[in-house]
Amino acid sequence: MRILHLHSSFDRGGKELRCAQLINAFGKGLEHTIVSAQPEALGAASAISGAIRTDYPDDFPALAGRPFPARLRTIAQAMQPFDLVLTYNWGAMDAVMAHSIFGKFYGLAPLVHHEDGFNEDEANGLKTSRNWFRRAALTRSAALVVPSKRLEAIALDVWKLPRSGVRLIINGIDTLAYAGKPRADALPRIIKREGEKWVGTLAGLRAVKNLPRLVRAFAGLPEHWQLVILGEGPEREAIRDEAMRLQIAHRVHLPGFVSDPAKAVGLFDIFALSSDSEQFPISVVEAMAAALPVASPDVGDVSAMITPENREFVSPTGDEEALADALQTLAFDDSLRQRIGEANRQLAVKNYDEKTMISKYKKVYAQALGRAEFP
């Protein structure tokens, strides 16, 4: 079976690493072709097992451009050799429209779209023109998969998709892998020294993550606290500049992307987000599995994901002072951090293990193909 994956980006982010996680779980019997709307953004390829047959063609029609009929027809023609088409986020929506218009004419395989959230251009409100485009493009898809209740509500209430076509699948991880304590030197270019405490986060360094806000919220913590930001992206210099401005650059660390978060997240003492927009951030699940308390703006499903004990440390969206207060309270109370962290871990093991997620994705793909099982 040949599966085509059309991504807005295949860089190292939550949805991309989940895709790699699923590809590995589906095993060697499938062949995967992966296309990124940003051709150079293929960093998540390193997370796919070398035993899996994968292809990254450089001659697939561009996913970005004006949605003129001739261009959409060219994209549809390129989909013909495949048995299942999987598309991801707004950057692949032209391909969804191409499939919707030309799918029957070219006898295209079923298409399942995955929507994981919005970039900074829609973080503060969805664009009406894009809502109409999504609604039209998705009407003939076999299914739309979303990871959060907020996205599910948008799909049903704003995009007006039928209830039968929308699937909510909560992101899951191998929770057991996060149970142990990582080595102090597990990260590149930084070692956790005796007596240090870390506020940490995992994020693509993009504007929508608003990591300079996290630098400012962290700045008031005592000297033995360090801020460790794991990830890569275009906002690296903006984060570094903010740390320099606040004269805390010696306590703000950017070691880069970590391919196996299970070997790093447990080094943190507090997990923090500062995003303008999220849906169901897998990094929060990873933090919970590592028995960490979470400080975060009230974005996406974060409040619903964590334990009731942790919810008082979820601050109003955009309230930088409240985020700083949450970090301060957690930083000065070791027993509180331990109590909340253990409760988060128990909840993660119960609700967010990857076996349930993988099973649900297999069911959606099998239904799209008209089969009893997938693969």
Q: How far is CA 129 from CA 69, 126, 132, 319, in A?
A: 18, 9, 5, 30
147-159 pLDDT, tens digit per residue, is 999 999 999 999 9
Average of per-residue pLDDT across 335-341? 98
215-240 pLDDT, tens digit per residue, is 999 999 999 999 999 999 999 999 99
Give yes or no for a cis peptide into 67 (omega within 30° of 0): no
CA 324/CA 336 separation, integer angstroms: 17
Three-class secondary structure of residue 199 per DSSP: strand
267-290 pLDDT, tens digit per residue, is 999 999 999 999 889 999 999 999
- What per-residue confidence (pLDDT) applies to 124? 77
Average of per-residue pLDDT across 328-349? 98
Average of per-residue pLDDT across 2-28? 94
- Locus of tokens 């000065």: 332
- What per-residue confidence (pLDDT) applies to 337? 98
Q: What's the pTM?
A: 0.80
Answer whether residue 172 shows pLDDT above 90. Answer: yes
Average pLDDT, the chain: 96
* Domains of the chain: residue spans and CATH: 2-172+354-369 (3.40.50.2000), 175-351 (3.40.50.2000)
DSSP state of 75: H
CA 305/CA 326 separation, integer angstroms: 17
Instruction: Residue 211: count other Cβ atoms within 10 Å of its Cβ.
Output: 30
> From the centroid of its chain, how far is CA 26?
20
For residue 295, what are the β-bridge partners? 272
- What per-residue confidence (pLDDT) applies to 118? 85
CA 294/CA 326 separation, integer angstroms: 9
CA 301/CA 297 separation, integer angstroms: 11
Answer whether residue 259 shows pLDDT above 90. Answer: no
